[in-house]
């Protein structure tokens, strides 16, 4: 069949390679990648952080030149004629490319003029965009004063001042709450439907990729898969199940099932354990001696299952991923195993005001020993403020707060000795080696002498960090940085562990490994408090609260929250559905 220009794909990548020099080594951020994207589709560029997504985006928009290979947009070589390409595309970089000291309207006007939208059309086009994004009431507000979700929508509006033939969105949903994420998707879908735009959107959330017509699955600079989500998940059909055993501890059930033969992947989802078998032929164990009333039902496969299967296949040949030992921390075991009702964190009418703005308004809750407790909320709901008060980084304006038996207002130092903290993006001293990081944090937690050496040795062994113990932490792969961050937080065997969005952007295997450790810790009586935007992480929690406008609007385990969203149209709501239903319910109640 002859190829006419109309038949050509929107984007064609042929063996594109781009290398960077880092820490004295040359790393291929994009490695001999070939792919094509058809016109009028939404394609998800999916992969964990560091997979090479942003580099690929920049190669497609001509912001970087490939070392080898060709990038063609609508049949035009991007490296040779970047300006011709740019007249037909729009691109939203990470962090949305907004001028923070310009207002919403000024940002729109700037980009409209730069994109050559005739002045006469401005009013009508802005009207359309503002209606679409709901930013109408905030025209005069400076972009820097918008919430994360609003910035994201303004960024999108600015890239869409003129409808392009192809739209590139680089991680538009990172750091943005599920409600804003869903709204963004609605805009993108409408755009594709009405204008036939081709969209390439990068994300590290695998569940988002399921909304795309096709998916490019990237890992370590290489393309693992390129297909539509349905055909990617097809091989997983008949291999995914949901197991529950009423009356039995979910974590224990998970531990048992994960060790059963024929199981490839087992993850906790609220009160259930999600299972993926190694092959379609082998059903999951229907009977385990320890779990008497085990119930197993088949569920639909997800993209993540396919990704995990691919990664496991790859990892099977080289060294197996280090399996976390069963007892990550020998401490606290004496007091553990008691499903005790002893309360470890208690917040009573906790309030924090900044000037005349009340960020957290009389919030009360309790967390028991050994519980994994999740703190959810939209951008600006008071989630981070609450979290910072709990770890003693911010003093409350009013209310009582007891952590590990200490009143945080009076004995903050003593309380801090009993907690471990792992910040978002695993903040470690990048210039120091893992061993130096561990030494420093153990000293900061007042360990010394033989005890300190023993703990450092334990951390290096336990987290598989020995081979790189003396390299610069900055150069470690993301998964290892995360392990090191957790190791640093565990040096002093804390009673309570605070985690801030601990596994977003991390590849699914590393995430599983991380949560296996966390569950083991909880099993030994460590209390874990998690704050996140990432619904996958919310599923791992025993109990959750959802904050909105500084107050708690829902609380309970994930099953209970999901039940709130269950309806005829939505018999099997996801955590994200539940989150949105709860927020909408709260907004409705306020409006009424």
Q: Rounded to the nearest 10 degrees, what angle do helices 508-523 and 250-259 cross at? A: 130
CB of 497 to another protein, least distance (A): 11
Stretch that binds another protein, among 36-44, 55-63, 320-328, 505-513 (CB under 8 A): 55-63
**What are the C-alpha distances in Å from 568 to residues 427, 467, 565, 571?**
45, 54, 10, 6
Residue 391 or 510 with smaller CB distance to another protein: 391
Q: Least distance to another protein from the beta carbon of 246, Å?
A: 39
Greatest distance between any 2 Cα atoms in the chain: 79
CA atoms of 323 and 124, how far apart (whole Å): 59
CA–CA gap between residue 58 and residue 81 (Å, rounded) = 15
Minimum distance of another protein from residue 275's CB (angstroms): 37
- In terms of DSSP H, where are the helices of 45-172? 53-60, 82-86, 104-114, 119-133, 148-159
Q: Which member of 30, 98, 276, 530 binds another protein (CB under 8 A)?
A: 98
Please identify which residue in 126, 205, 406, 445 interacts with another protein, judged by CB under 8 A: 445
441 interacts with another protein by CB under 8 A: yes
Q: Which listed range, 250-258, 327-335, 422-430, 529-537, lies at the site for another protein (CB under 8 A)?
A: 422-430
By CB under 8 A, what part of segment 196-255 binds another protein? none
**Both structure tokens of 550:** 């500084």
Strand order of the β-sheet with 214-219 is 89-92, 166-170, 198-203, 42-46, 214-219, 222-227
| C-alpha to C-alpha distance for 584 and 420, rounded to whole angstroms | 34
Q: What is the DSSP string of 483-525?
A: HHHHHHHHTT--SEEEEESTTTTS-HHHHHHHHHHHHHHHHTT
Helix 478-490 with 449-462: angle, nearest 10 deg: 150
Q: Which is nearer to another protein, 58 or 516 (CB)?
A: 58
Taking CB under 8 A as the binding criterion, the range among 334-342, 437-445, 532-540, 565-573 that sits at the site for another protein is: 437-445
Counting contacts by CB under 8 A, is residue 90 touching another protein? yes
From 2, 5, 24, 116, residue interacting with another protein (rule: CB under 8 A): 116
Q: CA–CA separation, 490 vs 237, rounded Å?
A: 39
| Smaller CB separation from another protein, 382 or 573 | 382
Dihedral (CA of 167, 170, 176, 181) sign: positive
115: contact with another protein by CB under 8 A: yes
Write down the least CB distance from residue 448 to another protein, Å: 5
- Please, what is the minimum distance in Å from the beta carbon of residue 142 to another protein? 8
Interface with another protein includes 419 (CB under 8 A)? yes
Nearest CB to another protein, comparing residues 98 and 216:
98
Contact region for another protein (CB under 8 A) — 301-309, 429-437, 528-536, 578-586? 429-437
Q: Find, among 200, 189, 171, the residue nearest to 97 by Cα.
A: 171
Least distance (Å) from another protein to the CB of residue 98? 7
Q: Hey, which residues between 135 and 154 contact another protein (CB under 8 A)?
A: 142
Q: Which two tokens stand for residue 353?
A: 């005001």
Q: How many CB atoms are closer than 10 A to CB 401?
A: 22
Reference 529, options 427, 398, 384; nearest CA is 384
CB of 441 to another protein, least distance (A): 7
- Looking at 98-106, 124-132, 198-206, 253-261, which segment touches another protein (CB under 8 A)? 98-106
User: In the complex, what is the shortest distance from the CB of residue 189 to another protein, in angstroms, rounded to a whole number?
Assistant: 23
Question: Shortest gap between Cβ of 206 and another protein (angstroms)?
Answer: 25
Work out which of 44, 93, 178, 324 binds another protein, going by CB under 8 A.
Answer: 93
SS3 136: helix
Q: Using the rule CB under 8 A, which residue among 96, 241, 307, 458 binds another protein?
A: 96
Rank residues 93 and 525 by Cβ distance to another protein and give the closer one: 93
The residue from 74, 138, 463, 498 that contacts another protein (CB under 8 A) is 498
Minimal distance in Å, beta carbon 429 to another protein? Answer: 6
In the bound state with another protein, the residue whose beta carbon lies nearer, of 142 and 587, is 142
Q: Is 91 in the site for another protein (CB under 8 A)?
A: yes
Query: Measured between alpha carbons, how far is 454 from 450 in angstroms, rounded to an integer?
Result: 6
Beta strands of 139-284 (E only): which ranges?
A: 166-170, 198-203, 214-219, 222-227, 240-244, 263-269, 272-277
Identify the residue among 131, 193, 448, 461 touching another protein (CB under 8 A).
448
Q: Does 97 sit near another protein (CB under 8 A)?
A: yes
| Least Cβ distance, residue 440 to another protein (angstroms) | 4
Task: Identify the residue whose tokens are 């820490």.
Answer: 23
Report 374-413 residues binding another protein (CB under 8 A).
391-393, 395, 413
Q: Are 60 and 78 in contact (CB under 8 A)?
A: yes
If the CB atoms of residues 135 and 488 are measured against another protein, the closer one turns out to be 488
Residue 299 contacts another protein per CB under 8 A: no
- Which residue is it, tokens 């569950």? 519
382 closest CA partner among 358, 360, 397, 352: 360
SS3 430: coil
The Cβ of residue 230 has, within 10 Å, a number of other Cβ atoms equal to 14
Q: How far is the CB of 138 from another protein (least distance, A)?
A: 17
Residues that bind another protein in the complex, under the rule CB under 8 A = 58, 61-65, 82-83, 86-87, 89-102, 106, 109-111, 113-116, 119, 142, 158-159, 391-393, 395, 413-414, 416-417, 419, 421, 423-425, 427-432, 436, 439-441, 443-446, 448, 472, 488, 498
């Amino acid at each position: 069949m002859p190829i006419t220009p109309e038949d050509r794909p929107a984007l064609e990548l042929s063996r594109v390679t781009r290398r960077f020099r880092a820490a004295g080594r040359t790393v291929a951020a994009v490695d001999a990648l070939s792919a094509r994207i058809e016109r009028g589709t939404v394609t998800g560029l999916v992969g964990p952080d560091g997979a090479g997504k942003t580099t690929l985006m920049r190669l497609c928009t001509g912001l970087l030149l490939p070392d080898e290979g060709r990038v063609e947009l609508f049949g035009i070589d991007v490296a040779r004629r970047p300006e011709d390409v740019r007249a037909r595309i729009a691109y939203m970089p990470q962090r949305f490319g907004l001028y923070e000291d310009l207002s919403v309207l000024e940002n729109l006007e700037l980009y409209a003029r730069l994109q050559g939208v005739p002045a006469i059309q401005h009013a009508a086009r802005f009207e359309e965009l503002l209606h679409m994004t709901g930013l109408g009431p905030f025209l005069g507000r400076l972009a820097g004063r918008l919430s994360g979700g609003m910035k994201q929508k303004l960024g999108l509006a600015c890239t869409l001042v003129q409808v392009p033939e192809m739209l590139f969105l680089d991680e538009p949903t990172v750091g943005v709450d599920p409600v804003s994420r869903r709204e963004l998707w609605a805009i993108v879908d409408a755009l594709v439907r009405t204008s036939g735009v081709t969209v390439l959107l990068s994300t590290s959330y695998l569940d988002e990729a399921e909304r795309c017509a096709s998916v490019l699955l990237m890992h370590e600079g290489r393309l693992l898969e390129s297909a539509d989500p349905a055909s990617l998940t097809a091989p997983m059909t008949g291999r995914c199940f949901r197991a529950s055993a009423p009356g039995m501890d979910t974590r224990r059930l998970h531990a048992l099932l994960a060790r059963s033969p024929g199981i490839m992947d087992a993850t906790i989802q609220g009160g259930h354990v999600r299972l993926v078998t190694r092959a379609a032929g082998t059903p999951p164990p229907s009977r385990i001696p320890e779990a008497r009333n085990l119930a197993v039902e088949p569920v639909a496969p997800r993209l993540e299952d396919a990704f995990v299967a691919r990664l496991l296949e790859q990892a099977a040949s080289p060294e197996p991923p280090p399996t976390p030992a069963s007892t990550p921390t020998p401490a606290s075991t004496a007091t553990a195993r008691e499903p005790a009702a002893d309360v470890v964190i208690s917040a009573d009418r906790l309030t924090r005001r900044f000037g005349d703005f009340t960020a957290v308004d009389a919030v009360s809750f309790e967390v028991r020993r050994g519980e994994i407790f999740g703190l959810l909320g939209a951008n600006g709901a008071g989630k981070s403020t609450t979290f910072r008060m709990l770890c003693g980084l911010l003093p409350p304006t009013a209310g009582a707060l007891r952590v590990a038996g200490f009143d945080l207002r009076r004995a903050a130092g003593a309380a801090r000795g009993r907690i471990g903290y792992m910040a978002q993006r695993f903040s470690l001293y990048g210039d120091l080696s893992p061993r130096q990081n561990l030494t420093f944090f153990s000293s900061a937690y007042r360990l010394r002498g033989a005890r300190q050496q023993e703990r450092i040795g334990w951390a290096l062994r336990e987290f598989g960090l020995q081979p790189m113990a003396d390299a610069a932490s900055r150069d470690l792969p993301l998964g290892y940085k995360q392990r090191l961050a957790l190791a640093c937080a565990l040096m002093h065997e804390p009673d309570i562990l605070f985690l801030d969005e601990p596994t977003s952007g991390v590849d699914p295997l590393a995430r599983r490994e991380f949560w296996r450790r966390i569950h083991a810790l909880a099993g030994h009586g460590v209390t874990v408090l998690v704050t996140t935007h990432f619904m996958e992480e919310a599923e791992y929690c025993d109990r959750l609260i959802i904050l909105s406008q500084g107050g708690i609007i829902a609380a309970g385990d994930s099953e209970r929250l999901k039940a709130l969203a269950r309806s005829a149209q939505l018999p099997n709501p996801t955590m994200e559905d539940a989150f949105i239903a709860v927020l909408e319910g709260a907004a409705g109640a306020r409006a009424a």
